[in-house]
Structure 1
């Protein structure tokens, strides 16, 4: 309607004024419904054509969308193990700090495993003390075996010396017995050395390895026990948290709830513009938005990012071929907009639906002086028509509460 009024000001209205005041024709006499159409048909047709052209130019160079939302990311509260809830530390809705325990699972099994690991370490430490005693025992056995071996060697040497000085004084049988006794004592000494080496290996290698394995098992048991304490990963707020003691939670089928990070949905507005605006939407464009949760307020914004891909065209690899007709609704160009002024989105509830406009600006191109006069004038017209769209947005912001509260039937 606003575009028709503007176009009629330069087409129908001058023609009517000329016929009414220049030619002296009167309404109801010379100016009737038929005569108006017959005499102003060129102006009416020109007005309609200008209206269509103006609407096309406004909506192309200054795009608008009703699909603007303050999206925010939620963090699922999940467990790494399946278990039964033993304790819940927060209410249905409550703020949480990073590292704060939200709830705890039944940990009887994990505590038993932790206790077993501690007992295993104590057992290995006791075995190390026993192995050290075995080393001392083996050293004593070595000393005793060395003494017995030395005694047998000395007796054998004495008998051999006497045999050499006075043959026949020592029976050959005695010498053979002493040789057998010396060999036996040597075997005992070798066995004592081997026992000491075995005990030393247990002290220096085997038992430390067993202790390290037991400590690793203890650390694993502690990790499993810590997994029963579900903590907040970030600062935020837990909403609609209906978990209660006795509930079963699993990491795949049933999560415990959601955590909304602090400040989520308060930084940017995500808007979907038509695909025809792909060549118009640029980073740095000035934009405006009005949201239902903050009525009668226009928020100055700027385009900070334009997504290069349309979500409607994505697919996952599978066993079926893509059918192009399955995409019923055409996708939109996703645009990220942030407030120009700090705190511009204060008072706007995250997740709120908004109406947004983006405005094309050709000021730099016009100021460069590289364009012709006609093109500069055309770009001036394009920039000036943004005022119409800005006015329409303010009318929408004014009527939005009325439309929502009164005309929607609620």
Structure 2
């Protein structure tokens, strides 16, 4: 931009000297040079501060490493590289044989758990019957003991019941009472086993259903699908390969086309003039002669050059020497530019932001930006 402004001023000076036949001497040439330094210097200072520009702009996109949730052998890869995909399209399939077998095993385990639940119900009903029987036996022995005890007390020495018979009846009654207590405890144990629940469901059945759901999930994960709209590129996956759910070994890389942003790195001197919503323009070397409208969406509130993390080493003076630029995010007015023009993602570009200060100077910035766009036709 600076070179364009200097060349433009030089061209204007040459034209004026030619048109008005101004002689080249020790007064006219230094005057033109000094005037150029003052004029261009003032314009550059005003433009660079109030209407910042950077040649460090780039379109960024998100890529997702595709890893299966389960280990398996690849049996089919229907996806074609660099072909647009919709969310949910099949990327590749794994051999389902072991997962189908595991699912059948868990279904059988659930059926067995439901049978165990019926058995627990039967055990509970049996325990209740045992308690009823023990209660009746306890009541019978209690009546007999009380009858013997009453007759022995009234008869005195002429009692029809001996001390031994009374003691036997007491022991029988106490044994029946103990049997009843044991039956009640067994009934309570059977009731807890049958009626105990987790979220309203028997624990045995709930555990079997959870295992079945896990087996069904594993089976569903044998078909790996696209996480969003996008495409797969540089794909090397082939049938017969074994894939594992490890972060360090993705099976393929999926490029998302729904999440992308254009960003530029600016000098820190212009931060006070960069506001959210400000008008901006972008040019791309790949699209000479074209200028795209944009607006500032955000100034990222941190710069990576100053980042510190807890580690076993100290930060050195390199942190202070390294220059940092704030990153500004933009939204281009023309959506899906890459798809319309058949261009790859990740284009680099140049950006100019126009603030509300010294708006008349922004016209020069716009002219220079368009001149730079036309210069993109020339490259070595």
User: When the two structures are superposed, what TM-score results if normalisation uses the length of structure 1?
Assistant: 0.71
**How big is the alpha-carbon RMSD for the aligned residues of Structure 1 and Structure 2?**
4.0
Say whether residues 1:198 and 2:171 are aligned partners. Answer: no
Post-superposition CA distance 1:2-30 (Å, at most 9, x none): 4335434775655565555xxxxxxxxxx
- 1:284-299 equivalent positions in 2, closer than 5 A: 284-292=277-285, 294=287, 296-299=289-292
Aligned residues: 362
- 1:10-409 equivalent positions in 2, closer than 5 A: 14=16, 19=21, 36=24, 38=26, 40-50=28-38, 52-53=40-41, 54-78=43-67, 83-85=71-73, 91-93=79-81, 95-97=85-87, 103=93, 107=99, 112=105, 115-116=108-109, 119-151=112-144, 153-154=146-147, 157=150, 163-164=155-156, 168=158, 170=160, 175-209=162-196, 212-222=202-212, 224-225=214-215, 227-228=217-218, 229-230=220-221, 235-240=228-233, 242-243=236-237, 244=239, 246-261=241-256, 263-265=258-260, 268-292=261-285, 294=287, 296-325=289-318, 330-340=323-333, 347=340, 350-362=345-357, 379=358, 383-400=359-376, 403=379, 407=380
User: When the two structures are superposed, what TM-score results if normalisation uses the length of structure 2?
Assistant: 0.75
Change (3 A) 1:158 1:96: farther
Larger radius of gyration: 1
Listed as ranges, the gaps of 5+ residues in structure 2 are none
Change (3 A) 1:200 1:100: farther
Give the number of the structure with larger relative contact order, counting CA–CA contacts within 8 Å between residues 6 or more apart. Answer: 2
Say whether residues 1:7 and 2:9 are aligned partners. Answer: yes
Q: Which SS does the other structure have where 1:70 is aligned?
A: strand
Q: Which SS does the other structure have where 2:290 is aligned?
A: strand
Q: Which SS does the other structure have where 2:174 is aligned?
A: helix
Q: Which SS does the other structure have where 1:200 is aligned?
A: helix
Listed as ranges, the gaps of 5+ residues in structure 1 are 21-30, 363-378
Change (3 A) 1:96 1:188: farther
